């Protein structure tokens, strides 16, 4: 059951098998999956709700609470993987490409130590590549 270094491809296959075995392909439409994922994001948010800012690594959290967090994070991931699959998007490939675009949009020499959006520093030097494709 426990597996190190699982890939998006494996999760995609497992979700496809899970749905097929249950004859749930009929319910796994893009819109249904998107709404299911957003619902799980809500459940994930509830874990942090009213706690204020929490330190990295979540020191002091009960094991049970951390396990619950892992479950909600997984629900979001699994629906995202399934949604991508159903939409015919190669999520791993798309994410790597997006990271390349991010690196061009936010060059280290301009952004190091700053959390400004690209639009806030772009005017300063003018030498950033414009990767904004209007989305």
Instruction: Please tell me whether residue 43 binds ligand DCP under the rule CB under 6 A.
Output: yes
Among residues 9, 20, 27, 124, which is the contact residue for ligand DCP, using CB under 6 A?
27
Largest alpha-carbon pair distance within the chain? 56
Task: Rank residues 27 and 104 by Cβ distance to ligand DCP and give the closer one.
Answer: 27
Task: Rank residues 27 and 48 by Cβ distance to ligand DCP and give the closer one.
Answer: 27
Q: With CB under 6 A as the rule, give the number of residues binding ligand DCP.
A: 6
Instruction: Please tell me whether residue 34 binds ligand DCP under the rule CB under 6 A.
Output: no
Residues at the site binding ligand DCP, with contacts judged by CB under 6 A: 18, 24, 27, 43, 75, 78
């Amino acid at each position: 059951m426990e597996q190190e270094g699982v890939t998006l491809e494996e999760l995609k296959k497992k979700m496809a098998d899970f749905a097929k075995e249950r004859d749930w392909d009929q319910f796994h439409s893009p819109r249904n999956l998107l709404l299911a994922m957003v619902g799980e994001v809500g459940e994930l948010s509830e874990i942090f709700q009213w706690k204020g800012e929490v330190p990295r690594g979540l020191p002091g959290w009960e094991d049970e609470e951390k396990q619950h967090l892992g479950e909600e994070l997984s629900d979001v991931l699994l629906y995202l993987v399934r949604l991508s699959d159903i939409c015919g998007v190669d999520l791993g490939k798309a994410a790597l490409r997006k990271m390349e675009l991010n690196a061009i949009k936010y060059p280290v020499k301009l952004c190091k130590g700053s959390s400004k959006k690209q639009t806030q520093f772009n005017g300063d030097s003018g030498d950033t590549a414009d990767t904004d494709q209007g989305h």
